[in-house]
Structure 1
Amino acid sequence: MGLIIRILISAVAVWVAAYFIPGVSVTGGAGTYLIVAIVLGFLNAFIKPILTVLTIPITIVTLGLFLLVLNVLMVYLTAYLIPNFHVNGFIAALLFSFVVSIVTSLIDAIV
């Protein structure tokens, strides 16, 4: 039950981010938001930790700022895998990752 609630919260966060950020579009309805949330969560849970370990030297040299690039990469990879999810530009992907993170944290705190 907890996993379903987290996916729904993430889907709402994706909707908020897509609504407010120019350059991010989600077409296809509520199902697409759920799919984006699931795929993004999967990538962040399984692929991002591997990339984080592999890029430790770059992360250290950039004082951790390279982790933002990894967040953008996860958003781009999600957009590549889901045909109804489009992100135009690095800044849009970066803002998308920020908004999704903030909205998810706020909703988690409320729930």
Structure 2
Amino acid sequence: MKSLVIKLLISALVLLLGDYLMDSVTISPYYYAIILTATLGILNSLVKPILKILALPFTILTLGLFSFVISACIILLADGLMGTHFETTGFWSALGFSILISILNTITDMLMPDND
């Protein structure tokens, strides 16, 4: 349980860092980053597998790069669910945000060892 809370907080900090680095993404007020993290986690576990199956031919043709488009769609869906507390200016900002979040999550995963 303690590990889950720590991962949730680190993911929220990564989202806030992405918000800081990109002008086209807004998380306001900042404590909604925790709710956004939970929302993205739920969407990634429920909706993303369906989108991956439907987009499998495109993912194969693009050698996996289409997965960033799927992540951008998940971010846009979270944008719609969160209302004014999380906003992106469009598809391209969601795509850039998904790439940035992927890079930042990779860096934090390398820096933070998994103790489970």
* TM-score (norm. length: structure 2): 0.85
State the match for 1:39 in structure 2.
Answer: 39
Q: What is the SS of the residue equivalent to 2:23?
A: coil
Using the alignment, how far apart are the partners of 2:105 and 2:61 within structure 1? 29
Q: CA deviation at 1:105?
A: 2.1
Higher RCO structure, 1 or 2 (CA under 8 Å, sep 6+): 1
2:105 — aligned with what?
Answer: 104
- Once the two structures are superposed, residues 67-93 of structure 1 have per-residue CA deviations (whole angstroms, 9 ceiling, x without a partner) of 221111011001111020000022211
Instruction: Give distance in 2, aligned partners of 1:16 and 1:45.
Output: 23
Residue identity opposite 1:97 in structure 2: S
Using structure 1 for the length normalisation, give the TM-score: 0.88
SS of corresponding position for 2:26? strand
- Decide which moves more: 59-68 or 77-86: 59-68
- Taking the aligned partners of 1:68 and 1:100, their CA distance within structure 2 comes to 11
Provide the residue aligned with 1:13 in structure 2: 14
For the residues of structure 2 that align with 1:34 and 1:41, how far apart are their CA atoms? 11
Structure 1 residues 105 and 63: CA distance shift in structure 2, 3 A: closer
The CA distance in 2 between the partners of 1:97 and 1:65, in whole Å, is: 12
RMSD: 1.5
Equivalents in 1 of 2:44, 2:97: separation in Å? 14
Please give the residue correspondences for 1:20-59 in structure 2 after superposition, counting only pairs within 5 Å.
20-30=21-31, 32-59=32-59
User: How high is the sequence identity, in percent, across the aligned residues?
Assistant: 35
- Secondary structure of the structure 2 residue equivalent to 1:86: strand
Partner of 2:4: 3
Deviation >6 Å, runs of 4+: none
Shift of 1:18: 0.5
Question: Residues 55 and 8 of structure 1: is their aligned pair in 2 closer, same or farther, counting only changes over 3 Å?
Answer: same
- Structure 2: tracts of 5 or more residues without a match: none
Q: Size of the alignment, in residue pairs? A: 110
In structure 1, list runs of 5 or more residues that go unmatched.
none
